Amino acid sequence: MVKKQLIMEKSLELFAEQGFEATSVQQITKRCGISKGAFYLSFKSKEELILALIDQFMEQFLSNIDYTVRNAKNNENLLYDFYYISFASFNKYSNFAKIFMKEQAHSVNNEMFTKLHYYYQLHEKAILAMVEKLYGDEVNEIKYDLVYCIKSFMRTYTELLLFSNTLPDLETLAQSLAEKTNILAKHMTIPYVTHGFVPLFTHPQNEEGTKEEIIRFIDQSLEEVEESIEKESLVLLKEELLTPTLSQALIKGLIENIRNHPQCIWTAYLLRNYYNF
């Protein structure tokens, strides 16, 4: 549905400028050049639109990071790549990133709060995985605190990137933060965050990740995808889930086929998790 995409694009602009609450459905429909009724044909409420935007961006963003961390051949460039890909994502989807910065703690309502915290924890998990991969057992005492430092850097420097008018220099930024992180990992002795992530709020155990859930995502992707290779890959992956026959390499290749297709990003992410690639 083209209209749905149009609404998401235009509303993103408005939300980035004004925030969620301050942007009315009227403004959105006006910018789209459609009527109010048409809006409610695509989304059953303003809230649903917001949740859809969050999903779209966070899935993209997190799967990018996850892919980078998992597929890093060596540790040499991992930290740099992590920062680079993160800031590049924020830069590319700057409109969403701006909203994210503004509304993060706002939690307009419960469902949005739940969703954001869910993605937030996935992000922390990805960073923690990276820290463990990079520094191993040497940093066991300080690793949770280190994750927090990394998150600190990302937050503040992303803000600088998004809201200052200077031209971003992503290479230097990634280098600078990678250096800082390495320095802290090497010399820090007094951590503050020590007990892992105190979940601010207990998230109902998500069923994502089970075989059935992944198949549901594959079916959904199948409906939305046109291209034949992606379609075939999805079908094969579904069959493989039901009755395993293929080798690891073949499965990995199939996932690789769909990983960059807009409608398959989350499906690919779940599959990578499932097969532990």
Partner DNA sequence: TTGACAAATGACCGCCTAGTCATTAGTATA
Partner DNA sequence: TATACTAATGACTAGGCGGTCATTTGTCAA
Task: Give the interface with a copy of itself as residue ranges (CB under 8 A).
Answer: 19, 21-22, 101-102, 105-106, 108, 145, 148-149, 151-153, 155-157, 159-160, 163-166, 169, 172-173, 175-177, 179-180, 183-184, 187-193, 198, 200
Judge contact between 230 and 259, C-beta under 8 A: no
246 belongs to the binding site for DNA (CB under 7 A): no
Task: Answer with the entry of a copy of itself, DNA, none that 46 interacts with (C-beta below 5 to 8 A by kind).
Answer: DNA
Residues 11-70 that bind DNA (CB under 7 A): 23-27, 34-38, 40-41, 44-47
Backbone angles phi, psi at 68, to 5 degrees: -60, -45
**Type of residue found at 237:** L
Q: How far apart are CA 122 and CA 23, in angstroms?
A: 29
Secondary structure percentages of the chain, helix, strand, coil, to 5: 75, 0, 25
**Closer of 22 and 235 to DNA (Cβ):** 22
Beta partners for residue 124, in sequence order: none
Task: Answer with the entry of DNA, a copy of itself, none that 160 interacts with (C-beta below 5 to 8 A by kind).
Answer: a copy of itself
Q: How far apart are CA 10 and CA 95, in angstroms?
A: 10
3-state secondary structure 250-271: HHHHHHHHHCCCHHHHHHHHHH
Task: Answer with the entry of a copy of itself, DNA, none that 45 interacts with (C-beta below 5 to 8 A by kind).
Answer: DNA
**Closer of 80 and 277 to a copy of itself (Cβ):** 80
Judge contact between 111 and 117, C-beta under 8 A: no
**Closer of 12 and 174 to DNA (Cβ):** 12
Instruction: Output the smallest distance, CB 36 to DNA, in A.
Output: 4
Task: Answer with the entry of a copy of itself, DNA, none that 24 interacts with (C-beta below 5 to 8 A by kind).
Answer: DNA
**Closer of 38 and 215 to DNA (Cβ):** 38
Judge contact between 272 and 255, C-beta under 8 A: yes
**Closer of 67 and 100 to a copy of itself (Cβ):** 100
**Closer of 51 and 237 to DNA (Cβ):** 51
Count Cβ atoms below 10 Å from residue 172 Cβ, excluding itself.
Answer: 9
Instruction: Output the smallest distance, CB 192 to a copy of itself, in A.
Output: 4
**Type of residue found at 24:** S
Instruction: Output the smallest distance, CB 75 to a copy of itself, in A.
Output: 19
First to last CA, the chain: 33
Q: Which residues make up the interface to DNA (CB under 7 A)? A: 3, 23-27, 34-38, 40-41, 44-47
